[in-house]
Every structure is written in structure tokens, then in C-alpha cells.
Amino acid sequence: MAVAKASLLIAVLLVWQLAALRGLPEYVLSPVQIAAFFAQALGTRELYENIGASLGRALPGFLIGSALGAALGLAAGTARWFDRLLSPAVFLTYPVPKIVMLPIFMIWFGIGDLSKVLIIALACFYPVFINAYTGARQTRTILVWSALGMGASRWQVFRRVVVPSAAPMIFASLRVSLALSFIVMFAAEMINARSGLGHMIRVAENSLRFDLMYVSLAAIAILGYAGDRLVRLAHSRLLAWQQPA
Amino acid sequence: MSRLLPFVFIGVVLAVWEAVARSGLWSPLLFPSLEKIGRELMLFFTRTEMLGEALVSLERALGGFALAAVVGILLGVVMGRSRVVAGLLDPLFSGTYAVPKLALFPIFIFVFGIGSLSKVALVFLECLYPIVIMTCAGARDVQEKLLWSARNMGASRAAILRRVVIPATTPFIFAGFRVAVPVAMIVVVITEMISSADGLGYQVIYAMASLKTDRMLAVVVVIAALGYLLDKAVVLARDRLIYWEKLDTYYV
């Protein structure tokens, strides 16, 4: 079954490998070559340092942005005055590409890691805010009434009814914001950085080191995939009562 | 009072900005006053070459998006209606969903050249995912009842596709578009910031490199307005085309 599922992937890799044997441009390496270079790079310190630098930016940004998004989204979804105050500004700026703020952040917070972490946090804030907000607003009124009828305080209603009913939506948005954090991290590092996977691919590009280019590409692909699996695992563990979307 | 509340937050932010700019605590390079940004904005709209830059970015974003829409709807409908195709393609899409496609950009530059083509190709790739995923979800969940009724009334496969499946899927297609349009703008701006000699993303980097913070912020305002207007255009088209149903979601 697993073989049948991956059949197309295997077919693509096979065609790619066969095409490489017949001669491809030098900037397209064959899958076997990429695997060999990656295995080789796994033995160097450089790769781990760059991965560490990249994760050191992406993860704090993801955590700060998602936590703020979830907290403010739940607050706006439950308190009407807060909703009126904050939501229009958020929905207004939602379709704006947040990466354009990077140069401004670089001027305000320096060209070091702080500006990158903050831009990642900003990008991660939006999807989590919108889903937490929608999730909180979609809480079934009958549940809230029952809880109030049984003598629950406002805080208990929030903690025991609103948060659990918004949780599936929040987890769905965490998947989006984690993917987003890697994209923004990579973009920020390609634009301006002295370390990290985005920097590595830039250097490789400029010095025509195609092997390093593909190593960096493979590393970011594996990180992105693993991160996504972790979020989905956490989702199915923590919200066992609900089928993951 | 409560009607004014939405503007309070935005107004306070702008007022704080102006106060900071005028306080003289920080250099005007960090916080240019609103007046200076406004003047640069006026300059932007009166100079044809700057409008040309906006057009270049818009063409790249819309070109990649249009390609992704055509391919994505086709793939999505086929994946949603055929279990065999879904079994083949679904692992490919869900496996690479979380991988930042942006990492392919340096390779795209070698394959498609440093001009517009590599950027359009990357926009296409990034926009394809949300459109395929949403369209597939919509086409798969067409109500069996409707399909049975159509078949019972003697509709051909083509008629069912055109009259039942496509209309039922359209709200989902628009939900996919709504995710894909901001993505198209993001990718265009990022790729122009990384390597380009034209477009709005390049103008941002260029203005920053020449320490023209006010001009940079003016370009940022233009990019923001474009992103907002494109989203509004999608919503308008959706409300026109599918007046019978509203699927007002940003995400799946």
C-alpha cells in the first residue's frame, strides 16, 4: 500500500535519474548525486551550524507569533469591544505581504537576528489570529448557555467551552503558520544574513556550488516536512476526541 | 461610538507614529513623518516609471496566479472526482506542502533565467498548492444526492461535470483563490527583493540601500494597497459569481 501511494514519486525520481544519465544541464543534479552530497554534508559541521542558525530564528518567531495570535484571536472572538477595536485592523492588513516590513524592521531593530525573529512572528500572527477568532466565534451557543446554566463563571466558560471548541481551528492554523515561518525565515536569510540555510543557498548560488545548493534545499525540505508532521502529531495527540482535518 | 471603534486603533497607531517622528528622539531615518511619506507617495503616482514598476510586479503576480488557477482547477477537479488520480497525486501534494518552495528559486534562476520567467514560475508553484487542495476538497464533497438525481434524470457525464460538480466546487475554488492571491504578492515581492532589477520589491530594497526610509515606506504602502485591492477583487468576483453560497474562510 505504501509503495502504491509513493508510486508517482518513485516514477518521477526514476525518470529524473534516467534523464540525468543521458545528460542534463550542470545545474540539475540527479537524485542519487543529491543524496550522496547530502550524506557527505551530514558529516560536516557547517550544515549543522546553518540549520541551528535557521531554527534559532524560525522557532522563536513561530512561537511568539502563534502565541500572540491565539491569545488575541480568542480575546477578539469573545469580547465584543476588543473585536471592534482590533479585528478591522487585522483583516485590513491580512492580504498585505508582511515580508515588505523586513527592511523597516532591519532599520529599527538592526540587521541581526531580532529583526528576522520579529518579521517571522508578524507573519505567523495572522493565520493563527484569524483561525482562533473564527473558532471562538463558532462556539455553539447552546454549550455556552448550558455551562452558564450550570453556574459556570465567565472564566470557566472561556477555559472549558470556548478554548476547546476553538482548538481544532487553532491547530489547523499552526500548520499554516509553521510552513509560513520557514518561508519567511528562508526569504529573510536570502535577503540578508550571515548564517542559516538561506544564506548557504545564496553563497552556493554565487559561487556556482550546485552541490551545496541542493544540500541546503534538501535540508529545508526535510525540516519543513518534519515540522509539519510534528504539528499534525501534536494535533492528533492533544485533540484525540476530534478527527484531525 | 461603537461604530468609530474600528478607526480608533488605526488612528492611535498613526498618531503615535507622528508623535514619535516629531519628538526628535529618533532620527527621521528611523521614523519619517507621515507628511514626508505622503509626499513620496504623491511622487510615486505622478512618475510614470514608478507606475511601470508596479505594473511589472502586478504582471508577474497575476501571470503566475492565472497559470496556477487553470492548472490547479483542472488537477483539483480530477483529483476530487477520481480516486485513482487522487491516490497518485495526493501523496505528492501533501508530502511537499510544508516544504518552502522558495528554496527552489536559485535553481529556477538557472533554469528560467534571472528575468520575469523564474519569478512567474515560482508564483505558479506556490499558488498551485492552495488552489489544488481547496478545489479537490470541494469536488470530492459534492452531495451524492445531487449526483444521483442528475444521473437519474439522464444527464451525461459531461453534463454532470458542467452542471453539478463545477457549480458545487466554485465556492471552494474561490476560497483557494483567496489564499493564493496574497501568496502571489508575497512571492513576487520576495523574489524581487532577492534578485531583480525592477518591480516593487526591488524598489523597497533600493530605497533602503539609499537610506530613503520615507520612499521605502511609500512603496510599502503601495504594495499593501495592491495586496488589499487584489483580495477585494477576488471577493467581488466571488460574490458576483456565486450569489447562492458564501464560504467565507481564509483557511481550510
Residue A240 touches chain B, beta carbons under 8 Å: no
| DSSP conformational letter for B195 | S
C-alpha cell at B94: 501533501
Supply the pLDDT for residue B233: 92
Residue B2 pLDDT grade (very low, low, confident, very high; cuts 50, 70, 90): low
ipTM exceeding 0.85, yes/no = no
Instruction: Indicate the angle between helix axes A210-238 and A45-78, nearest 10 degrees.
Output: 40
Supply the pLDDT for residue A62: 96
Which of A228-242, B14-28, B119-133 has the largest mean confidence? B119-133
Three-state DSSP class for residue B133: helix
Q: What is the mean pLDDT of residues A105-134?
A: 92
Question: Which residues in chain B have their CB less than 8 angstroms from residue A225's CB?
Answer: 95-96, 98-99
Question: Which residues in chain B have their CB less than 8 angstroms from residue A228's CB?
Answer: 97-98
Supply the pLDDT for residue A69: 95
Q: Which residue's C-alpha cell is 460538480?
A: B165
Q: What is the mean pLDDT of residues B81-89?
A: 86
Residue A242 pLDDT grade (very low, low, confident, very high; cuts 50, 70, 90): low
Distance CA A182, CA A191 (A): 14
Residue A2 distance to chain B (closest CA, Å): 10
Residue B46 distance to chain A (closest CA, Å): 22
Distance CA B194, CA B205 (A): 9
Tell me the percentage of chain B whose pLDDT exceeds 90: 33
B29-53 confidence digits (pLDDT tens) = 888 888 889 999 998 888 888 889 9
Nearest alpha-carbon partner for B175 in B252, B97, B90, B123: B252
Q: What size, in residues, is chain A?
A: 245
Residue B243 predicted with pLDDT over 80 = no
Residue B79 predicted with pLDDT over 80 = yes
Distance CA B90, CA B97 (A): 10
- A106, A117 Cβ separation under 8 angstroms: no
Q: How many CA atoms lie within 13 A of A76 on its CB side?
A: 24
Distance CA B182, CA B228 (A): 8
Nearest alpha-carbon partner for A88 in B12, B33, B200: B12
User: pTM here?
Assistant: 0.85
Residue B218 touches chain A, beta carbons under 8 Å: no
Nearest alpha-carbon partner for B219 in B17, B98, B49: B49
Residue A85 touches chain B, beta carbons under 8 Å: yes
B85-96 per-residue burial string, b: 16 or more CB within 10 A, e: under 16: bbebbbbebeee
Are residues B194 and A8, on separate chains, in Cβ contact within 8 Å?
no
| DSSP conformational letter for A99 | G
C-alpha cell at A152: 459556570
C-alpha cell at B210: 539609499
- Element spanning A224, H or E: helix A210-238
Q: What is the mean pLDDT of residues A40-48?
A: 88
Q: Which residue's C-alpha cell is 540601500?
A: B209
B134-163 confidence digits (pLDDT tens) = 899 889 888 888 888 988 898 888 888 888
Give Cβ neighbours of residue B205 (< 8 Å, ≥ 6 apart): A103, A191, B192, B193
- Element spanning A238, H or E: helix A210-238
